[in-house]
Amino acid sequence: MGFTRFGRPKGAQGQSSPNLYVANCGPAVGLSYDTIVSVFGAFGEIKGVFAADESGARVVVCFAEEGCAQNAFNALNGRPCAELGGRSLHIRYSVLQPTSQSQLRRAVLVKANTMTCFHILILTLGKLNIPGLYLMHDFVTAKEEEEFLAAVDERPWKNLSKRRVQHYGYEFCYETRNVDSRKNLGELPAFVSPILERIAMLPMCEDAEAVVLDQLTVNEYPPGVGLSPHIDTHSAFEGLIFSLSLAGPCIMEFRRYLDAGLTPRASSSSDIEIESSGNNSNFLRRAIYLPPRSLLLLSGEARYAWNHYIPHHKIDMVKDSVIRRASRRVSFTFRKVRASPCQCEFSQYCDSQR
């Protein structure tokens, strides 16, 4: 599963859909996204507005219902619009196409209840060659980051040997690396609702149930503390895992072991780093830099086949720069608890298929 993109339709006639490709519209021609939302929102509920390309003069407007898109098309296509300063829009129905792994896109997501626009850079990390791995910069604002940190600091922490955690929805058991789906801790806390709403508005595949997240683990990492290599247990969680980084940055490494039997077994506390024996021929190795306020998505192969871990370092090297880890790094990891055995295509790494 991955992101979808909105491709420019070919020809004069496009198949009717809830998505409209709108040319002569965008910041490059003096139209803010708030203005676009205001004009098109008069025809019905808008799910999102997305930059169609890098020009800044073409957007895709996504309606909740196809009929609303048709009404907007009939009213605005090729006609001067007074609300847009008399500008004429050129509109076609949009076509959904797969996103290439090398693509960079800037999405503008519309929060329905406030019509506030969020500009999020979605990086598909094609150079890493890990299908299903995505990084979204500035997923939350600096002010929101402060509010989220204050909210968790008001709640009790559970101490592990080197770090602290909080669990919501379902408690994660480090001894079994699983959850007890019969013991629900209740709804996720209200303070994460803005994050969940924003995740639900990402330009993802049509399977909406996959983003109904019901488990949250909050981790606090002091300087120098990392995370041992592991794959989140297949039988425990569904195929999308979202991790929001707050307060401090880190390097996250990914390893795919060529022989699944060589995959390291994480310690029960998940605090002790397992170093390789130095024979890197047994696995593929990649690394990415996670800045504060970024959201990482693991899906598909990245979620099911690659171990991810955080080295136990106080200093990270990013290209030629030395990045010192902050006094703390806090991560919010959102998952959906699995209700039936995993049937993924990566059976060699899957505990449900052994």
Q: Of 12, 110, 101, 126, which is closest to residue 59 (Cα–Cα)?
A: 110
Domain boundary (68, 99, 117) is at 117
Is the predicted pLDDT of residue 219 greater than 60, yes or no? Answer: yes
Indicate the average pLDDT of the chain. Answer: 80
| pLDDT at res. 125 | 58
Give the containing element (helix H, strand E) for 315: strand 315-318
> 77, 97, 117: which is the final residue of a domain?
117
Shared-domain flag, residues 12 and 68: yes
**Residue among 308, 307, 309 at smallest CA distance from 257:** 307
| CATH, residue 100 | 3.30.70.330
Encode pLDDT of 327-350 as tens digits. Answer: 899 999 999 999 899 999 999 999
- Could you tell me the pLDDT band of residue 51, with boundaries at 50, 70 and 90? confident
The stretch 2-18 carries a mean pLDDT of 56
3-state secondary structure of 245: strand
State residue 78's pLDDT score.
92
Q: Is the pLDDT reported for residue 232 higher than 50?
A: yes
pLDDT at 113 over 60: no
> 30: which residues sit within 8 A by CB, 6+ positions away?
85
Mean pLDDT value of segment 235-246: 95
Number of helices (H), then strands (E), belonging to the chain: the values are: 5, 25
Residues forming beta bridges with residue 109, ordered by sequence position: 48, 118
Report residue 109 as tokens.
Answer: 């997501």
Task: Determine the pLDDT at residue 203.
Answer: 63
Confidence check: pLDDT of 292 > 60:
yes
Note the pLDDT of residue 98: 46
Report residue 277: phi and psi, to 5°. Answer: -75, 0
For tokens 């409209």, what's the residue? 20
66, 82, 117 — which closes off a domain? Answer: 117
Of the candidates 277, 281, 232, 275, which has an alpha carbon nearest to the alpha carbon of residue 258?
281
Same domain, 162 and 184: yes
Number of domains present in the structure of the chain: 2
Note the pLDDT tens digit of each residue in 297-316.
Answer: 999 999 999 999 998 887 77
Whole-number Cα distances in Å, 203 to 41, 99, 109, 198, 287: 19, 10, 9, 10, 25
Can you tell me the mean pLDDT for 229-255?
93
Tokens linked to 148: 């989220």
For residue 273, is pLDDT > 50?
no
Question: Same domain, yes or no, for 173 and 239?
Answer: yes
Alpha-carbon distance values, 3 to 104, 132, 144, 200, 332 (Å): 12, 9, 25, 12, 21
- Give the single-character DSSP code of 115: T
Per-residue pLDDT averaged across 240-256, rounded? 93
Give the rounded distance of the alpha carbon of 322 from its chain centre: 27
Residues 13 and 112 in one domain: yes
Q: CATH code at 166? A: 2.60.120.590
CA-to-CA separations, 290 to 176, 247, 252, 323, in angstroms, rounded: 28, 11, 7, 11
Q: Which domain holds residue 163?
A: 125-353
Same domain, 103 and 129: no
Please indicate, yes or no, whether residues 111 and 253 belong to a single structural domain of this protein.
Answer: no
Query: Looking at residue 95, what is its pLDDT?
Result: 64
